[in-house]
Amino acid sequence: MSEVGGARAKRMPRAVREQQMMDAAVQTFGQRGYQAASMDEIAELAGVSKPLVYLYLNSKEELFVACIRREAKALLEAVRSAVDPELPADRQLWAGLFAFFTHTAENPDGWAVLSRQARTEPFAAEAALMRDEIVAYVATLIGVAAQETHRATDRDPELAERDVAGLAQALVGAAESLAIWANETPGMTARESAATLMNFAWAGLGNLMRSERWSPR
Amino acid sequence: MSEVGGARAKRMPRAVREQQMMDAAVQTFGQRGYQAASMDEIAELAGVSKPLVYLYLNSKEELFVACIRREAKALLEAVRSAVDPELPADRQLWAGLFAFFTHTAENPDGWAVLSRQARTEPFAAEAALMRDEIVAYVATLIGVAAQETHRATDRDPELAERDVAGLAQALVGAAESLAIWANETPGMTARESAATLMNFAWAGLGNLMRSERWSPR
Amino acid sequence: MSEVGGARAKRMPRAVREQQMMDAAVQTFGQRGYQAASMDEIAELAGVSKPLVYLYLNSKEELFVACIRREAKALLEAVRSAVDPELPADRQLWAGLFAFFTHTAENPDGWAVLSRQARTEPFAAEAALMRDEIVAYVATLIGVAAQETHRATDRDPELAERDVAGLAQALVGAAESLAIWANETPGMTARESAATLMNFAWAGLGNLMRSERWSPR
Amino acid sequence: MSEVGGARAKRMPRAVREQQMMDAAVQTFGQRGYQAASMDEIAELAGVSKPLVYLYLNSKEELFVACIRREAKALLEAVRSAVDPELPADRQLWAGLFAFFTHTAENPDGWAVLSRQARTEPFAAEAALMRDEIVAYVATLIGVAAQETHRATDRDPELAERDVAGLAQALVGAAESLAIWANETPGMTARESAATLMNFAWAGLGNLMRSERWSPR
DNA sequence: TATGAATGAGAATTCATTCAT
DNA sequence: AATGAATGAATTCTCATTCAT
């Protein structure tokens, strides 16, 4: 396997080298998993010697955490920057979902790191932190929808904080699952994934807003 | 860490020992992941020596595949046996979700093996096979709902196979996400999780059945 | 691989079982070598359980030594019984060589045990002991030839004991090498091997008897 | 057991270290055999850590094959460079035998690797290839003698190719056997061994050249 | 006479990590 | 800024051997 960025160049500025290493690391971790990825492989893919990886990133664990952070930040940023807070809630949610699926489709290795590889100890905490940021953001979007409904129908959705949190968890979980599935399913576009989930979610949210709940028995 | 079944018993029939080993393996694989789990740890947890694990289960890979199969079978059986096909679709879905939630909550390690640890090479194919069985079953439940709607409203939901598959993926993903969150959230019961998801899902499905779709712009 | 003697029979007399085990052991040791042969394989090939092998033959080492002894004895017996001490020396030697090559060709595994597998520690001594018996016997044959020459030519060959020993070593070594080569060379008969060596040796011995020696410078 | 080259030296160039490792490997393989030799022992004898052996030589099998090749090459070179093709055949043979004896006596481990340890699967093919080169070279020496005889006596020895091959096998086998015996016999020099074999062989060859064959009945 | 159940000890191999330059 | 040389500590897997029946 040859290096990520083409021909091996010597004496690059530290920042550039670091990015090359992280690129190689995300690719390797995403495809192999944390344990199965070897520092040898990462260094070779990055086109540098192993000691240099250690010089810059200190250890395999730190390198992996750095990858988690970089990828989570990028994903969050992609979603955030796609959402215009001036628009109505449904359009905000749509935009967010579409951006999410687009980003995960374009960065399958990064998404694999976040969604699969980062969830075992000793990284679960770090990954959960990152994930919670996303969930919190989604919860905000749901909150916006609730307030809109409130104003429009003059009825308070009475969604407890825990309900919103649960919904956000479900939504993100559904999105994660769909994204993984979409990455494995040829011909599945980000638009399709987003539409599927939006259809699924919007009605359910609407119902909840109108306090029309399904109940067993 | 002491053995799974309490005091170390000697000279058990092969079938019993094998189950003990699989129990220990599922627990270890579920918590650590395939790579990080060591055969040493599994053997110790099972209360036997390593050679015996190899004598009965042949290799780490075969052991892991056996775990995947056993856990998938158990989960599927739990959901299937909870669903009465005579009942209306919503009650079938409710029963299925509730059983799914209950089983995954009661077998977090087995569920972790299926949903997270088994998805990297060289197990992706095997895991996909197993997970697809579950998703396919959920898809049949959705299909039942669609037919009922068809009969009741005299309108064909026109749900493409891929739509149903996507919905099932979303549903399972949401369920997993909720289950994890529920486990971390004090006072959150399996029943509550199931209700949250059912509420979320049923309205969305209903809308889809009635062909009332949300669409961008 | 199925057992050596056909269908697995239970409760055989000890002597018979032991022979079955030794047959399996010789075959396995001969083909794999001492280290690479496993007691599992030998037991399976013999059609018995491993503990029975240990009950009768005590250990892998003892089993191997027993194989060495049995095969050496058989080879020596084959050569001895083929030689008629009433005949002239050349015919005695011919008969011995022919018997040697015939036996090694018919028992390639046994011959492999003796000629190759038995020559490393801790079996070198045992193997040397067996080999020395053969060498001593060959030396006897050479001695017979010397005496005949003595009587015929009225000249003493003046072969020191060490010379005879060296010649016997060379002869046996040549025979060993030829036997191995013959076993690897399709279409090479025992008769051919024996003739080649006899031609080679008889003249050389004759010259030596007549004190016609080649000498450097 | 301490290292091959005396005090442990650090940070050597790769080529040097590789030779040290091969030295240790030949010694260990030669004395213990392939299976019984452990990489631990080889590494310790070479004065390096095991990982370095793997880094440079890849695996036990590759290491062993490398040993076979190196030793075969060295032996062949020793014999070849000792033979002056301008000399008469008997002197060529003498020089070759003497060199062969000297080299095998001075490199007993290398010779053990070639003549004994390398003859079991999966190395038999490789070893046969190497040994055949030596045997083939001896065969050419015999061929030279045959041609000389042809010219000198105006009679064609009519030695078939297979006859020559068999003679070469016998000669090499006799040499090996004598060498082993000589090593065990105090006061026995390489020169003496070579003389014994030459005496034994030259007359035999001479007879064959003159088509004076011994024949049974 | 015979065996299913079980293991202690050790084998090859890999990998994160560091040292000296 | 960068690397060739080197290793301690695991990890998977095997095998001769024994125990209890």
pLDDT digits (tens, 9 = 90+) for B59-81: 999 999 999 999 999 999 999 99
Chosen from A177, A197, A205, A210 to mutate, greatest number of chain B CBs within 10 A: A177
Alpha carbon distance B124, B34 (integer Å): 12
State whether B174 and A178 contact (CB < 8 Å). Answer: no
Q: Select the residue of D169, D175, D201 nearest C178 (Cβ to Cβ).
A: D169
* Mean pLDDT of the residues in chain C: 83
Question: Angle CA(D136)–CA(D137)–CA(D142) in degrees, nearest 5?
Answer: 90
Query: From the CB of residue B207, how many other CB atoms can be counted at a distance below 10 Å?
Result: 19
Using a CB-CB distance cutoff of 8 angstroms, which residues of chain D are in contact with residue C91?
216
Contacts of C178 in chain D (CB under 8 A): 166, 169-170, 173
User: Could you tell me if residue D158 is left (phi over 0), alpha (psi between -120 and 50 degrees) or otherwise beta?
Assistant: left
Query: Degrees (nearest 5) of the Cα angle A190, B138, A163?
Result: 70
Residue A190 has what pLDDT?
A: 86
**What's the pLDDT at B216?**
61
Average pLDDT over residues C5-14: 64
- Amino acid symbol at C99: A
Exposed/middle/buried for residue A213 (C-beta within 10 Å: 0-12, 13-18, 19+): middle
Residue A9 pLDDT > 60, yes or no?
Answer: no
Are the C-beta atoms of residues C203 and D210 closer than 8 Å to each other? no
> pLDDT per residue over B84-113, tens digit each?
989 888 888 889 888 988 998 889 899 889
Tell me: pLDDT of D200 over 50: yes
Tokens 């809109």 correspond to what residue?
Answer: A148
Q: What does the radius of gyration of chain B's CA atoms come to, in whole angstroms?
A: 20
The predicted pLDDT at position C130 comes to 86
**B35: phi > 0 → left, psi -120 to 50 → alpha, else beta; which?**
alpha
Using a CB-CB distance cutoff of 8 angstroms, which residues of chain A are in contact with residue B35? Answer: 33-36
CA distance A27 to A58: 19
Q: Are D8 and D43 in contact (CB under 8 A)?
A: no
What secondary structure does DSSP assign to A116-151, as a single string?
Answer: TGGGSTTSHHHHHHHHHHHHHHHHHHHHHHHHHHHH
Across A173-196, average pLDDT: 85
Report the interhelical angle of B14-32 vs B50-57 (nearest 10°). 100
What one-character DSSP code corresponds to residue B192? H
Residue D150 (CA) to nucleotide F2 (C1'), in angstroms, measures: 70
With bands split at pLDDT 50, 70 and 90, how would you rate the model's confidence at A54? very high
Average pLDDT over residues C158-171: 77
**Higher per-residue confidence, B18 vs B183:** B18
Neighbours of D49 (CB within 10 A): 12
Q: Provide the token pair at C30.
A: 């001969």
Buried b (16+ CB within 10 A) or exposed e, B121-156: eebeeebeebbbebbebbbebbbbbbebbeeeeeee
Using an 8 Å Cβ cutoff, are D103 and D128 in contact? no
Residue among B128, B169, B206 whose CB faces A203 most closely:
B206
User: Which of A7-16, C87-96, D110-119 is predicted with the least confidence, judged by mean pLDDT?
Assistant: A7-16
Q: What is the 3-state secondary structure (H, E, C) of chain C?
A: CCCCCCCCCCCCCHHHHHHHHHHHHHHHHHHHCCCCCCHHHHHHHHCCCHHHHHHHHCCHHHHHHHHHHHHHHHHHHHHHHHCCCCCCHHHHHHHHHHHHHHHHHHCHHHHHHHHCHHHCCCCHHHHHHHHHHHHHHHHHHHHHHHHHHHHHHCCCCCCCHHHHHHHHHHHHHHHHHHHHHHHHCCCCCHHHHHHHHHHHHHHHHHHHHCCCCCCCC
Mean pLDDT, to the nearest integer, of C193-198?
83
Higher pLDDT, C53 or C164: C53
pLDDT given at position C1:
46
> How far is it, in rounded angstroms, from Cα B104 to Cα B30?
12
The first and second tokens of residue B185, run together, are 């959230």
Token readout for C127 is 């193997």
Does the beta-carbon distance from C196 to D31 stay under 8 Å? Answer: no
The pLDDT, as a whole number, for residue D60 is 96
Sketch out chain D's domains with CATH numbers: 1-58 (1.10.10.60), 67-209 (1.10.357.10)
d(CA B94, CA B175): 12
Measured between beta carbons, which residues in chain A are less than 8 angstroms from residue B177? 169-170, 172-174, 176-177
Between CA C80 and CA C92 the distance in angstroms is 10
Residue B50 or D145, more confident:
B50
10 Å CB burial of residue B96 (0-12, 13-18, 19+) is: buried
Distance CA A191, CA A174 (A): 15
CA of C186 to C1' of F3 (A): 55
Residue C11: nearest nucleotide (C-alpha to C1'): E1
Mean pLDDT computed over D118-129 = 83
- Say whether pLDDT at D195 is over 90: no
Residue C33 contacts D, CB cutoff 8 Å: yes
**How would DSSP label each residue in A106-119?**
H-HHHHHHHHTGGG
For the record, the structure tokens of A122 come out as 């000793």
- Weakest mean pLDDT among A114-128, D38-52, D63-77: A114-128
**Which of A82-96, B134-148, C174-188, D141-155 has the lowest average pLDDT?**
D141-155
Which residue's alpha carbon is at the shortest distance from the C1' of E14? D51
Q: Do chains B and D touch (3 or more CB pairs under 8 A)?
A: no
Residue pair B164/B143 in contact by the 8 Å Cβ criterion: yes
Q: What is the pLDDT of residue D26?
A: 97
- Here the tokens at position B26 are 């599922």
Under 8 Å between Cβ of C171 and C202: no
Read off the pLDDT of each residue in C89-97 and give the average, rounded to a whole number: 84
* pLDDT over 60 (residue C210): yes
Which of B121, B170, B202 faces A174 most closely, judged by CB atoms? Answer: B170
The set of strand E positions with any atom below 7 Å of a protein CB reads 1-21
**pLDDT of residue A167 exceeding 50:** yes
Cβ contact D197–C163 (<8 Å)? no
The helix or strand, by DSSP H or E, that contains position B107, with its residue range, turns out to be none
- Could you tell me the CA-to-CA distances from D8 to B31, B68, D46, D54 in Å, in that order? 44, 50, 9, 19
**E strands present in B34-113:** none
Check residue C57 and give its pLDDT: 93
Q: Is the dihedral of CA B70, B72, B73, B79 positive or negative?
A: positive
User: What pLDDT score was predicted for residue D1?
Assistant: 45
